[in-house]
Structure 1
Amino acid sequence: MTDEKQTRLHRGNHSKSIRNFGIGSRNLLRAGKICSQQSEKSFSTRGTLADRWTVFAKWLGAEYRIGKMENITPDHLIAYGRHLNSRIEQGELKPSTAQLYVSAVNSVLITATAGNWKTVSPTKDCGIPKRKYLPESSKALPQSQHDQVIAELAEQTEEPLDQRVIVLLNLQRTLGLRFKESALLDARQALLQAGKTGTVSILTGTKGGKRRDVPVSSEAKLALKQAANIQDGRSMIPTDMSYVKFREACYAKAQQLQFNFHAQRHHYAQQRYHELTGAPAPINTGIPRKDWLNYLASFLNVGSATAEAIDHKARLQLSTELGHNRLEVVSVYIG
C-alpha cells in the first residue's frame, strides 16, 4: 500500500471518532472491510479478506465481547487460531484453510495499524499443522474414562443438567452425533423410527442441513430410551432454556469434569470401523499409515486387494454415518 493510500485510510472520519484507528467506521466489521478494500491485492482477494475478517470479528465478539480494533491483541488472534485448530482436529476444516483465515486477520490488522501489528504465525503460534492433519493418537474417550464421567454426573442428579449431559454423552457415543445434533434430537421420534427401521434419521443441527441415516445398535436403543424418558419438549434441551444457554452450561460441565464431547464421536467411528472390518481402527494399533493395508491383510488373513477393498468400503460407510462424505476426514477419527 502506498504512503498516500495509508494516510488517506487512517484519516477517514478521524474528526468524528478515533475508534478503530480512525479508519472511518465505528463498527468493527465495517472497519475491517474498509481495510480489506484498501489492500493492493486483487479484487477477488480483497473480497475474501473481508469475508474472513467477518468470521473472526463475529467470533471475537462472541468470545471476548470486543467491538473495536484497539482492543485486539496478538493473544486474541492466537486464541482464534487455536479454535480453528480444534476444528481441524474434528475434521471440520483443512489446515490450509485455517492458515489462510489467520493470515487474513493479520493482513487487515497490519493495514489498520499502519504496520504496527505483531504478526501471528498460524503454525508456530497457533499450532495449526502445515500439512493435512492426521492424529498420532486416538482422540476417543476411553471406556474407563467414559464410565468415570458418567458416574460423577450420576452422583449429582439432583441437578437436572447432569442427567441431560449423561444422555447427550451416550447419544454421541452410540450414534456418532455432534453436540448440536444430540442436543436437538427428538429422542421420542427417533426411538419410534429405530423400532420400525433399525435406523435413525439425523437432520436437525447437521452441517449444511444434510440428512443422514445412522444404524441403531442395542446400546444406541438404550441411550434413546433414556433420552426419551427425560425429554420434556421436542429436543433434549430443557423447555426453559435456549440452545445457546444449554450449550454453554453443558460445556461448562465438560470443562469442570475435564472431558470433550467430540471424543465420543471419535469412539463411535473407531468402534464402527471394528464392526465393519473385524479389525481394530488403525489409530489404535500404532501401525504407520503406509503399512496399514499390509497389516490388515495379515490380521484378516486375506489378500492385499481384498484388504484394501474392505478398508475402503468401511471408510465410505463411516463417511456417510458421520455426515462428512469425505474419506480424508474419516482418517481424522480412525487413522
Structure 2
Amino acid sequence: MFTRGNTGARNHGLRSRDMARAGRNAMTEACESKTTSYSTAQQNADRFEKFARYCVDNFSINDSRKIENSHILQYAEELAERVEDGSLSVSSAHDYLSSVNAVIAQMRQDNLVRVPAAQTNIPNRSHIAEQSKACSKDLHQHAKSLLDERLSILSEIQRQLGLRFEESVKCNPADLLTQVDRNFNPVTRTSHVNIIDGTKGGRSRIVDITLKAQIEALKKAAQIQGSHRSMIPKNLSYKEFRSHCYSAYSKIKGYSPHKERHHYAQHKYTQVMRALSGQNNILAPVLCKHSRGREHIKHIASAIGSTYQRAKELDYRARYAVATSLGHARVDITNAYLG
C-alpha cells in the first residue's frame, strides 16, 4: 500500500526526488484508491514521464510543486507543432495532454494547475477546425497591451508573416528588411522574404510581402533587435527566453502566439482567393455560416459564377498557397486552420 509523505515536500511527498517517478507513484496511489483503473494509471504514468523529461530539459524543473500552467501550455504548443509536422497524431496529442492534467491533479490533490485541450492549439480529433482559433483584433490588441515591448512586437511578426514562435524569435528582422528591398518587384509592388531561422528541419520557405503592415512589423522588430542577430535578448538563451514568453502568455486568457498564425492563414486564404477569382469576400470555411467541404465549394462557385470543378480547383490552389506560406508540404494541414 503506497503511503504519501508530507504533501508540502518535494514532488508533493510522493516518495521520489524524480518527478517522473513521483508521477508514477501518484498513479499507484490513484489506482489503490480505486479512482483510476490499472491500465489507465499505467498509460498516464508513461505519458507523464515524457512531460517530466521535457520539464527537466527545458525548465530545469524536477519538482511538481514548481509546475505552473505556463509549463503545460508550452508543452501543449510543442505537441500542436508535432501534429502539424506529422510526427504525432491528433489523438496522441490529446492523450498526452490529458495524462499530464490527470497526473498533476493527483499529485497536487486539486485542479488548480490544468490546461484543457480547448485552450491550446492542438486540433480537434477530426483534424478539421469547426471553430476559428485565430486571434481576433481585439484579443491581439489586448495581448499587446499586457506584453512587454519585445513580446508585443513578436506578436506582430507572428501575425503579419505567419511565423511559428521559434521562427519569430530566431529570425533576423534587419536581414529580412534587406531582403524586402532586394526582392521588390516594381510591377506588382510586392516582395518576399526567405524564412529559415528556427524552421522545422531547417527547411526554408518564401513568405510574400504584400502589405505595409508586414514591413512596419519588421521595422519595429529591427529597432528592438539592435545589433543582435535575432529577437532573443543577448543575456538569455533560447530556452530561457521561451520560458519567459510562455509565462507571460499564460497570464492572458485565451491567448497564445499560435493564434496569430491562424489569423495569418485565414487572411492569406482570402487574399489568394481574391487574386485568383477577383472576389474579395471569399472567407475561410471556418469563418462562414455554411458548412465546409462541398457546401463551401458551392459557395465559391456561386460567388464567382463558375462551375463546381473550377471552384474546387481555386480552393485547392488557395490552400496550397497557405500551406507553403506556413511551411507545410501537406495541403490537408490547412483543414486545422481554415476548416
Length-normalised TM-score, structure 1: 0.67
Residue in 2 that maps onto 1:56: 51
Contact kept, 8 Å, 1:273 with 1:314, in 2: the verdict is yes
1:220 aligns with 2:214: yes
Whole-Å separation in 2 of the counterparts to 1:286 and 1:104 = 35
Whether the aligned pair in 2 keeps the contact of 1:89 and 1:133 (CA below 8 Å) is no
Measure the CA separation in 1 of the matches of 2:223 and 2:178.
Answer: 13
Corresponding residue number in structure 1 for 2:321:
317
- Deviation of 1:90 after TM superposition, in Å, equals 8.6
> Contact between 2:74 and 2:246, CA under 8 Å: does it hold in 1?
no
- Note closer, same or farther for the CA distance 1:64–1:26 as it changes in structure 2 (3 Å cut): closer
Partner of residue 163 from structure 2, selected from 166, 169, 177:
177
Q: Aligned residue for 2:138?
A: 144
Deviations along 1:311-331, whole A, 9 cap, x unmatched?
A: 001111111110122222111
Higher relative contact order (CA 8 A, sep 6+): 2
* Post-superposition offset of 1:183: 0.6
In the alignment, structure 2 segments of 5+ residues that lack a partner are: 1-13, 24-45, 104-115, 184-190, 275-281
- Please name the residue that 1:292 is paired with: 296
- CA RMSD across the alignment: 4.6
Per-residue deviation, residues 171-226 of structure 1 (Å, max 9, x unmatched) = 11110001111111100001000111121111111122211111112211111111
Please give the per-residue CA displacement for 1:240-273, whole angstroms capped at 9, x wherever unaligned: 2222222222223323343221111011000000
Map 1:82-161; keep pairs closer than 5 Å: 83-84=75-76, 87-88=79-80, 91-92=83-84, 93-98=88-93, 131-150=125-144, 152-153=145-146
Contact 2:157/2:218 (8 A) holds in 1: yes
**Contact in 1 for aligned 2:83/2:93 (Cα 8 Å):** no
Find the structure with the greater CA-based Rg. 1
User: In 2, Cα distance between the equivalents of 1:254 and 1:27?
Assistant: 28
Q: Distance in 2 between matches of 1:229 and 1:211?
A: 24
Number of equivalent positions: 285
Match of 2:207, SS state, is: strand
Q: Give the Cα–Cα distance (whole angstroms) in 1 for the partners of residues 138 and 179 of structure 2.
A: 31
* CA drift at 1:162: 1.4
Q: Quick one: structure 1 residues 305 and 215, their matched pair in 2 at CA, closer, same or farther if it must change by over 3 Å?
A: same
| Contact 1:91/1:332 (8 A) holds in 2 | no
Q: Deviations over 1:103-127 (max 9, x none)?
A: 999xxx9xxxxxxxxxxxxxxx977
The aligned residue for residue 277 of structure 1 is: 273
Paired residue secondary structure (2:148): helix
Matched, 1:230 2:201: no
Distance (Å, rounded) in 2 between the aligned partners of 1:129 and 1:170: 23
Q: Which residue type is aligned with residue 240 of structure 1? A: N
Does structure 1 retain, via aligned residues, the 8 Å contact 2:83–2:90?
no
Give the secondary structure class of the aligned counterpart of 1:65.
coil
Quick check: 2:51–2:75 contact (8 Å CA) kept in 1?
no
Per the TM alignment, residue 87 of structure 1 is displaced from its structure 2 partner at its CA by 3.6
Cα drift, residue 53 of structure 1: 7.4
Give the 3 Å change call, closer, same or farther, for CA 134–81 of structure 1 in structure 2: farther
Q: Which stretches in structure 1 are left out of the alignment for 5+ residues?
A: 1-20, 33-50, 110-124, 154-160
Report the AA paired with residue 241 of structure 2: F
- Aligned residue for 1:289, secondary structure, equals coil
What's the CA shift for 1:27? Answer: 7.2
Aligned pair partner of 2:236 in 241, 246, 252: 241
Secondary structure class of the residue paired with 1:215: strand
Cα distance change, pair 94–286 in 1 and its aligned pair in 2 (3 A): farther
Q: Please name the residue that 2:28 is paired with.
A: none
CA distance in 1 between partners of 2:179 and 2:160 (Å): 16
**Aligned 8 A contact 1:90 1:262 in 2:** no
* Cα deviations by residue, 1:29-72 (Å, 9 ceiling, x for unpaired): 8999xxxxxxxxxxxxxxxxxx977633412535693379xx9x
How many angstroms apart in 2 are the aligned matches of 1:251 and 1:84? 11
Cα deviation per residue 1:93-142 (whole Å; 9 max; x = unaligned)? 4223336757999xxx9xxxxxxxxxxxxxxx977888432222111111
Percent of paired sites with the same residue: 35
- For residue 150 of structure 2, the aligned residue among 164, 172, 183 is 164
What secondary structure, in the 3-state scheme, does the structure 2 residue paired with 1:256 have?
coil
- 1:263 equivalent in structure 2: 259
> Is 1:301 paired with 2:305?
yes
- Alpha-carbon distance between aligned partners in 1 of 2:60 and 2:234, rounded to the nearest angstrom: 28
C-alpha spacing 1:80/1:162, structure 2 compared with 1 (3 Å): closer
Cα displacement (A) at 1:306: 0.8
